[in-house]
A and B are shown apart, each in its own frame.
Chain A
Amino acid sequence: MKELPQVADDPRAELEPGGGPPGGPPQPPERPPTSSARLITTLATAGALAGLVIVLVFGWANPRIQAYRAMVLREAIQEVLHSPESVQTWYVVDGALSETPPAGADTITAEKVHLGMDGDGQPIGYAITGQEPGFQDFILVIFGYDPDAGRVLAMKVLESKETPGLGDKIYKDSAFVAEFEQAASPLEGVKIGAGTGSENEVDMITGATISSRTVIGIINHRIEALEPVLSSADPAATAASATGAGGAPKPGESGS
């Protein structure tokens, strides 16, 4: 009869506490209990040192991570607004667009939209971000929206941890991403083949129903929330006021 190789005499197998090093002096099976004060001091010191190290590394890494995020966002805005000539960032303050973030909020976390304009200074549409829980974790989506036409220009998933091979098709499946091009708001997710050809229909992905539905939901909810703000703001006037008299670039403006 075959026997599997025994591993009992393997030094790796010694997991019992108190086992000494091979060949070393045998240790007493029972050790005196360590005082609670020492246990607490040791762990507290170790925790404090670990925290210090992490803070130092974070200080080094965070600017790089933020710079990368900003670059990804810039590229995504270009993509969902179909390469606008220039992009302005507007903050949403008390139901209106403002050039400056609301008091007490920083430029990163404040709610904002990005207005893209073509070469003649005519607005193309707004790039809007939104996030909601998907199947695994929050899905962060950016999409272009033209409030005049009431149409979504394009959609791009910025962050998602959806299941590889299934839910990640919301950004890997180009057919699904293309469904959002020029789709009329509000979007309506339909099963493939069940559509009636209406312009607000988006074919969902088989096997990724929750992820698809989340993306559609994010876009609908964000448009619903921002529609009053965007339609009351006259894009041409906002654009003119930003690029008009004085000529100095506004803080939120970034040319492409």
Chain B
Amino acid sequence: MRATTPTQDLIRGIWKENPVLVQLLGLCPALAVTNTVANSLAMGIATFFVLVGSSLLVSMFKKVIPHEVRISAYILIIATFVTIADLVLAAVVPLIHKELGAFIALIVVNCMILGRQEAFASKRPIGRSLLDAVGTGTGFMIAMLMMGTFREVLGNGSILGISLFGDGFEPWVIFILPPGGFLTLGFILLAFGWWQERKLESIRVRQWPHGVATPSREEAA
């Protein structure tokens, strides 16, 4: 196990270990509420807020929380932040809150958030945990926006409700329906995997022109 630098803690979650695109965590909201850019953004911001707040508190109180009840304590902290996010969204942006429906409350069971608490925030200093949460939260938001843009442009011909193609465009409705979420995620993961594969291949050719060794993910980065 290698120690990481603060910069690595921050940027790793954004792209290299993106929670949705690489770790395949938090797929439920990524599939369910990314039918428009506005919904994706609101969900991304709410999840970011919950993740950063929970990581901060879990890291602050890691010595106080007994080992036996740590998961219950994490869930309690996460659920509190989710309830706050739910109320604030309902008060400030009621229309988006209505669109997101039950998925705001379901942030509680987003395994990406609980995973960061258990694997990182409960064992690291506060600063590191915050950096990690900000990075992971940003990565989640990027993935959500990729999905949301792709789906809204194809499925509704618009971005943030602004029509792009005029009346001549026949929206590809399937992309804002649930199956479109799976298709979009599949296409994005395909592109992401292809890009990673190419990167590994180029390193392999450069470093081991005659061999078969496979570079690890760290060497590839």
Are A and B bound to each other?
yes
* A residues adjacent to B (C-beta < 8 A): 2-3, 5-7, 9-15, 17, 19-23, 31, 33-34, 38-39, 42-43, 46-47, 50, 53-54, 57-58, 60-62, 64-65, 68, 159, 161, 164-165
Residues in A with CB closer than 8 Å to B176 are: 164-165
**B8-43 to A contact mask, C-beta < 8 Å, 1/0:** 000000000100000100000000000100000000
Residue in B23, B69, B88, B178 whose beta carbon sits within 8 Å of that of A43 in the complex: B69
Residues in A with CB closer than 8 Å to B35 are: 164
Min CB distance, B136 to chain A, in Å? 10
B77 pairs with A60, CB closer than 8 A: no
A17 pairs with B177, CB closer than 8 A: no
Residues in B with CB closer than 8 Å to A31 are: 67
A12 to B8, CA, bound (A): 13
A23 pairs with B3, CB closer than 8 A: yes
With A2-B214, A22-B4, A164-B177 known as contacts, the answer to whether A11 contacts B69 (CB < 8 A) is: no
With A31-B67, A39-B68, A165-B178 known as contacts, the answer to whether A53 contacts B80 (CB < 8 A) is: yes
Whose C-beta in chain B lies nearest to the C-beta of A53? Answer: B80
9 new A-B pairs (CB below 8 Å) besides A12-B115, A43-B72, A57-B84? A5-B217, A10-B17, A11-B1, A34-B67, A34-B68, A42-B73, A50-B79, A57-B83, A164-B177
Residues in A with CB closer than 8 Å to B119 are: 11-15
A61 pairs with B87, CB closer than 8 A: yes
Min CB distance, B60 to chain A, in Å? 12
Min CB distance, B47 to chain A, in Å? 18
- Greatest chain B CB density within 10 A among A9, A31, A164 is at A164
Chosen A-B contacts, 13 in total, with CB atoms closer than 8 Å, are: A9-B2, A11-B1, A12-B23, A14-B1, A17-B67, A19-B123, A33-B68, A39-B69, A42-B73, A43-B69, A50-B77, A61-B91, A65-B87
Q: Is chain B's interface secondary structure helix, strand, loop, or mixed overall?
A: helix
Min CB distance, B122 to chain A, in Å? 10
A9 to B17, CA, bound (A): 13
- Greatest chain B CB density within 10 A among A6, A10, A23, A33 is at A10
Min CB distance, B193 to chain A, in Å? 10
Whose C-beta in chain A lies nearest to the C-beta of B90? Answer: A65
Interface residues of B in 63-79 (CB under 8 A from A): 64-69, 72-73, 76-77, 79
Residues in A with CB closer than 8 Å to B76 are: 43, 46-47, 50
Whose C-beta in chain A lies nearest to the C-beta of B125? Answer: A21
A173 to B80, CA, bound (A): 37
